[in-house]
């Protein structure tokens, strides 16, 4: 009877402490908008099965450490029935215990050995090898590892080591029980809370790189994320789900090239500030040093918004749109930015001709007139949105010429707007919501007047803006415009094109906003293969691509100074190009050629051709 009372006290106390700690983490008053997404629930549950149960993402990115982690997790799945029987025995009384003779006892014992291998391997890696990305040693990591080892050893000893009902067996049973309940006390206070939160975070993970949330309609106090009370429920879930594995930092181009941005620390600093009762989230490095802010503006404005951190995160954290970019928006809304180049970008976009290049609209007008581009009047099927890159950059104009040739060869009905203003992408990514809303209002009105129903662009940044950001505006969503990147349309047009393929060895650079921002990796390759290309892949390709260095408005706001051995992001990417031995780099974004050509010039390799997929396809048109 005494043992049952003690057991009941232990279970009630540990569950109470677990619930109390969870409540302290999540009771914070936050905004209820936006709600959690519930689209495609079947696909979301399947993703949870793959990434949680099968540990696919964990094993993919770090095979050895991932497999060790998976052994521990799978072992606990195998131990579920053992734990239930153990708890039931605590309520029934130890005198009801019987020797385990079923096959399941042996099965659980095998998994106990597997868990010991996994946890000891992880402990050696954490405390002996100490990979840089994991950060400082955590006492709770060692404590959890010790408790898991105790659980496995005490199970094995109870299964065959000690005779049932002996004093040693009873002592072993209590050690196992206390270890189990100790985990309920330690887990909610540490990174191991991800065991409970990660399935939920993964279920609600966006399909592609996260986007900036829409401001609450009619709420003049909504300026983006400024204070901890501005966080949404998914933000709170993300902040507490972080496993501190450092995978996000390990793939961050800014961090890898010597800058201070550390995506893991952005999330952890938000967690620390939240738990400490902080008010303002981000500020200057001086404010962070004084403890009046938690995340440095300096770090936020190094982000390329490439989404590599989110793609690598094993627990579904949204670092980019709903954290870093929204924190930028909060700083700009309150006039607390201290970045001269950011202010210069806004000034350039606010003045005529309303584009980040500061180039006269007359340049574009002369270009489309000289090339005899048809003007869209509503009767054509497709509006070809040139965007700033294809309107003002010489290489971008070559891509537009190639698209014209392909459209004519495929007999596509198309046209361009007589006048375009920037879609607002650099302004919004840099944090100026007001500027974005101004330009979007004018464009939405123009689209409505022209009765645009299908829009195609060679710029994945523009495609992302129209297909994600603009759809947050009811007036645009009501127009029912279908948005495509030119790789999507060109891939469908291949059967209607007469091609003369020519064998060519090249490498393809996946743009971040296409591969991770839209999930498109196959279509550009099918276009190149149809043109006769043999693709030599770089180490980072597909959804694991490496940024060219232009995203997140960095093309316009990046600081020019580098010191010591630091390399620019585009230089590091170009080193991968050189390693393939290819003489041609295929791209699918107007920003990428600018950055890669700069790197080629720096490396003295102007002999390497950098061409858009449309240019390569146009060259293979028969006749």
Integer Cα distance of 463 and 481 in angstroms: 12
Nearest residue to 228 via CA among 288, 295, 307:
295
Convert the pLDDT of each residue in 18-59 to its tens digit: 888 888 888 776 665 667 888 899 999 999 999 999 999 999
Q: What is the mean predicted confidence (pLDDT) over 176-204?
A: 90
Indicate if the pLDDT at residue 521 is higher than 70.
Answer: yes
DSSP string, 493-534: HGGGS-B----EEEEE---HHHHTTS---HHHHHHHHHTTEE
Confidence of residue 1 (pLDDT cuts 50, 70, 90): low
Range of weakest confidence among 340-354, 488-502, 597-611: 340-354
Beta strands 609-612; 584-587: pairing state: parallel
Four-point Cα dihedral 313, 317, 322, 328, nearest 10: -60
Q: How does DSSP classify residue 12?
A: H
Model confidence over 196-217: pLDDT tens digits?
899 999 999 999 999 998 887 7
What are the two backbone dihedrals, phi and then psi, of residue 227, each rounded to the nearest 5 degrees?
A: -115, 165
Separation between Cα atoms, residue 120 and residue 140, nearest integer Å: 15
**% of the chain surpassing 70 pLDDT:** 97
**Which residues make beta-bridge pairs with 62?**
none
CA distances from 250 to 134, 355, 383 (A): 10, 34, 40
Residues whose CB falls within 8 Å of the CB of residue 101, separated by 6 or more in sequence, listed in order = none
Tell me: pLDDT of 377 over 90.
yes
Percent above pLDDT 90 for the chain: 73
Mean pLDDT of 347-372: 91
Name the pLDDT band for 564 (thresholds 50, 70, 90). Answer: very low
d(CA 61, CA 44): 21
E strand intervals along 118-221: none
Who contacts 131 (Cβ-Cβ below 8 Å, separation ≥6)? 125, 246
Per-residue pLDDT tens over the stretch 416-450:
999 999 999 999 999 999 999 999 999 999 999 99
What is the arithmetic mean of pLDDT over 254-258?
93
CA-to-CA distance for 417 and 283, rounded, in angstroms?
41
Buried b / exposed e over 569-587, threshold 16 CB at 10 Å, is bbbbbbebbeebebebbbb
CB of 134 closer than 8 Å to CB of 245: yes
Residue 317: strand, helix, or coil? coil
Confidence of residue 90 (pLDDT cuts 50, 70, 90): confident
**For residues 364-368, average pLDDT:** 95
Mean pLDDT within 556-581: 83
Say what the pLDDT of residue 385 is.
97
Question: Helix, strand or coil for residue 323?
Answer: helix
Question: φ, ψ for residue 29 (rounded to 5)?
Answer: -75, 115
**CA-derived radius of gyration, the chain:** 28
CA 583 to chain centre: 31
Is residue 372 helix, strand or coil?
coil
Residue range 394-411: average pLDDT? 96
Whole-number Cα distances in Å, 160 to 111, 156, 167, 270, 546: 15, 6, 15, 48, 53
Distance CA 440, CA 434 (A): 10
Q: How far apart are CA 418 and CA 404, in angstroms?
A: 16
Q: Of 26-30, 305-309, 346-350, 400-404, which gets the smallest average pLDDT? A: 26-30
Q: Please tell me the least confidently modeled range out of 19-33, 58-72, 326-340, 514-528.
A: 19-33
Q: What is the pLDDT of residues 575-605, one digit of tens each?
A: 999 999 999 999 999 999 999 999 999 999 9
């Amino acid at each position: 009877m005494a043992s049952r009372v003690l057991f009941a006290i232990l279970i009630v106390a540990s569950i109470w402490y677990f619930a109390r700690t969870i409540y302290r983490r999540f009771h914070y008053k936050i905004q209820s908008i936006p709600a959690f997404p519930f689209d495609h629930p079947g696909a979301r549950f399947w993703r949870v099965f793959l990434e949680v149960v099968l540990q696919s993402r964990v094993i993919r990115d770090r095979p050895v450490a991932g497999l060790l982690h998976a052994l521990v997790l799978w072992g606990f799945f195998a131990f579920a029935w053992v734990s239930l029987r153990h708890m039931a025995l605590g309520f029934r009384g130890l005198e009801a215990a019987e020797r385990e003779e079923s096959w399941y006892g042996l099965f659980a014992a095998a998994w106990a050995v597997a868990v010991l291998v996994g946890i000891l391997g992880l402990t050696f890696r954490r405390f002996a090898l100490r990979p840089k990305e994991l950060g400082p040693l955590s006492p709770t990591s060692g404590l959890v590892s010790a408790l898991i080892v105790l659980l496995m050893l005490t199970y094995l000893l109870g299964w065959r080591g000690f005779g049932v009902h002996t004093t040693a067996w009873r002592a072993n049973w209590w050690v196992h029980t206390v270890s189990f309940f100790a985990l309920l006390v330690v887990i909610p206070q540490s990174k191991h809370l991800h065991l409970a939160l990660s399935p939920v975070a993964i279920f609600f993970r966006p399909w592609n790189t996260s986007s900036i949330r829409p401001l609450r309609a009619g709420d003049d106090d909504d300026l983006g994320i400024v204070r901890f009370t501005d966080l949404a429920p998914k933000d709170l879930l993300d902040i507490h789900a972080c496993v501190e594995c450092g995978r996000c930092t390990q793939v961050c181009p800014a961090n890898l090239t010597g800058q201070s941005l550390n995506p893991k620390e952005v999330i952890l600093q938000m967690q620390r500030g939240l738990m400490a009762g902080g008010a303002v989230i981000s500020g200057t490095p001086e404010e962070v040093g004084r403890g009046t802010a938690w995340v440095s503006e300096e770090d936020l404005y190094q982000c390329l918004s490439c989404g590599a951190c989110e793609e690598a995160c094993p627990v579904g954290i949204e670092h980019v749109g709903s954290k870093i970019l929204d924190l930028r928006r909060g700083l700009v809304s309150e006039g607390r930015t201290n970045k001269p180049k950011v202010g210069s970008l806004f000034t350039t976009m606010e003045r005529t001709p309303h584009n980040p290049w500061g180039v006269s609209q007359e340049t574009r007008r002369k270009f489309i007139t000289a090339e005899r581009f048809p003007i869209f009047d509503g009767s054509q099927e497709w509006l070809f949105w040139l965007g700033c890159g294809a309107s003002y950059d010489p290489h971008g104009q070559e891509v537009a010429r190639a698209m014209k040739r392909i459209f004519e060869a495929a007999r596509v009905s198309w046209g361009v707007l007589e006048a375009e203003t920037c879609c607002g992408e650099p302004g919004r990514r840099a944090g100026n919501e007001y500027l974005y809303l101004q330009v979007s209002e004018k464009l939405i009105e123009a689209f409505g007047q022209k009765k645009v129903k299908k829009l195609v662009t060679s710029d994945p940044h523009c495609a992302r803006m129209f297909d994600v950001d603009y759809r947050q505006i009811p007036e645009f969503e009501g127009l029912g415009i279908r948005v495509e990147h030119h790789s999507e349309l060109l891939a469908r047009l291949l059967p209607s094109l007469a091609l003369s393929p020519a064998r060519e060895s090249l490498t393809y650079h996946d743009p971040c906003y296409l591969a991770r921002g839209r999930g498109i990796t196959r279509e550009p390759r099918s276009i190149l293969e149809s043109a006769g290309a043999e693709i030599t892949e770089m180490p980072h390709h597909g959804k694991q691509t490496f940024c060219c260095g232009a995203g997140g408005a960095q093309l316009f706001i990046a600081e020019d100074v580098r010191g010591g051995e630091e390399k620019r992001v585009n230089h590091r990417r170009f080193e991968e190009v050189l390693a393939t031995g290819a003489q041609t780099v295929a791209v699918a974004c107007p920003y990428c050629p600018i950055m890669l050509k700069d790197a080629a010039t720096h490396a003295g390799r102007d002999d390497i051709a950098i061409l858009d997929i449309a240019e390569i396809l146009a060259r293979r048109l028969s006749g």
